[in-house]
Amino acid sequence: MSRTHRIAVLAGDGIGPEVMSESLRVLDAVEARSGFATERTEALVGGAAIDDGGHPLPEATVNACEASDAILFGSVGGPKWESLPPDIQPERGALLPLRKHFGLFANLRPGVCLPSLTHASPVKNELIPNGFDVLCVRELTGGVYFGSPKGREERDGEPVAFDTMIYKKSEIERILHVAFTAAMQRGKRLTSVDKANVLASSVLWRETATEVAASYPEVRMDHLYVDNAAMQLVRRPGSFDVMVTENLFGDILSDEMAMISGSLGMLPSASLGAKKEGTDLYFGMYEPSGGSAPDIAGQGIANPIAQILSAAMLLRYSLGEGQAADLIEAAVARTIDAGFRTGDIATGADGETKVGTKDMADAIIERL
Ligand code: IPM
Ligand code: MG
């Protein structure tokens, strides 16, 4: 074995553990073919960690992540922990601190609707004859999520609460560079989304986007207000290539995008931090775009593809194993072409084979 990489494996709750173990089997298979190895450290996160020791993000888990080249994350949360105070709920108490701690400022969320799966999209099929493929680049460590002051107090005899939407120019610049770089590798079109008709932070966003654009003359950039972007996404999703936006707008638009793609169970995501010195590789955390789906957890029917494609993104962006990532992505595409369908993407049409979590992974491994 020539190359060994270290990854932290945080399976979490709900369908997390069952799709995670399938993605690790795919990794095993791809490693055997590609001449590298991953050393994996499993650690508790989310509800599983709360049940174990009372906190959704134990120090041991943070340490395991720090000692790794990347984090493969499953999903967290579920009804069991919903009545806890917000700060120690699985989502807020684990995800947000992980993002902040590791400086994971760039969230890449592909919204892909394959031509063969347009039936699963809630968008009228005549609007998306060829499916679509949009990449949402969401700023992830700034804006109103983390801005201060943030709080709640009494004013004039009644409670008030406030958050601060704030961006430094340098924060806008670095996310724009990530988005332009992605656009250069794709269709060379970028839509910057803001609310510059109302918000000061958006005025700075738009100014900065326009400045950064000068360094990427080949990319055609346009600007949309976020309300309009939300409408255009359902009307003409096929016309977008890369979309870049601030944290809260990205939270909302990326969910809209995932929903119209019709196959939440197929969408991976990457949250990238700084590049590792002297390389083009990022420290990053990789997770399915969908949630922990507690309603179908433990039944062996969840679609493992989002988790498997998250592992592929991890290989590409954090480990420099792009060829292995290509192998996985091609095998997934062939598996879909061959008609394998988990419940979330099945129609019952001729030529489809309905499979569960494990059989889907087997079908992918066979096609590597
Ligand atoms: C997401 C989630 C999180 C967010 C929540 C769980 C804190 O919605 O990853 O999009 O708002 O960023
Ligand atoms: Mg969200």
- Structural domain contains residue 140: no
- Structural domain contains residue 350: yes
Nearest-atom number in ligand 1 for the CA of 77 is: 6
Task: Report whether pLDDT(230) > 90.
Answer: yes
Residue closest to 232 by CA, chosen among 207, 215, 257, 250: 257
Task: Report whether pLDDT(331) > 60.
Answer: yes
Query: Given this model, what pLDDT does residue 77 score?
Result: 97
Average of pLDDT values for 167-187?
97
Q: What's the domain count of the chain?
A: 1
pLDDT tens readout for residues 204-221: 999 999 999 999 999 999
Which residue's alpha carbon is nearest to atom 3 within ligand 1? 91
- Structural domain contains residue 288: yes
Annotation says 251 is catalytic: yes
Ligand nearest the Cα of residue 87 is 1
242 with 137: CB under 8 angstroms?
yes
Q: How far is the CA of 265 from the centre of ligand 1 (A)?
A: 17
- Structural domain contains residue 136: no
Which residue's alpha carbon is nearest to atom 12 within ligand 1? 251
Q: How far is the CA of 292 from the centre of ligand 1 (A)?
A: 12
pLDDT tens readout for residues 333-351: 999 999 999 999 998 889 9
Query: Given this model, what pLDDT does residue 347 score?
Result: 87
Nearest-atom number in ligand 1 for the CA of 254 is: 10
Q: How far apart are CA 178 and CA 79, in angstroms?
A: 36
- Structural domain contains residue 276: yes
Q: How far apart are CA 306 and CA 290, in angstroms?
A: 8
- Structural domain contains residue 218: no
Task: Say which CATH number the domain at 364 has.
Answer: 3.40.718.10
Average of pLDDT values for 184-190?
97
- Structural domain contains residue 246: no
Nearest-atom number in ligand 1 for the CA of 251 is: 10
Annotation says 227 is catalytic: yes
12 lies in which domain range? Answer: 1-110+263-368
pLDDT tens readout for residues 263-306: 889 999 999 999 989 999 999 999 999 999 999 999 999 999 99
pLDDT tens readout for residues 100-116: 999 999 999 999 999 98
* Residue 185 CB contacts under 8 Å (≥ 6 apart), including other chains: none
Q: How far apart are CA 214 and CA 218, in angstroms?
A: 9
Q: Quick one: what percent of the chain has pLDDT higher than 90?
A: 96
Q: How far is the CA of 251 from the centre of ligand 1 (A)?
A: 6
For the chain, counts of helices (H) and of strands (E): 12, 14
Residue from 95, 98, 269 whose mutation best tests the ligand 1 pocket (most atoms within 8 A of CB)? 95
Query: Given this model, what pLDDT does residue 363 score?
Result: 98
Pocket of ligand 1 (CB under 6 A): 91-92, 95-96, 251
How many alpha carbons lie under 13 Å from residue 117 in its C-beta half-sphere?
28
Query: 151: which strand partners?
Result: 162
Annotation says 255 is catalytic: yes
Which residue's alpha carbon is nearest to atom 8 within ligand 1? 251
Nearest-atom number in ligand 1 for the CA of 91 is: 6
- Structural domain contains residue 143: no
Task: Report whether pLDDT(246) > 70.
Answer: yes
Considering the entire predicted model, what is its pTM? 0.96
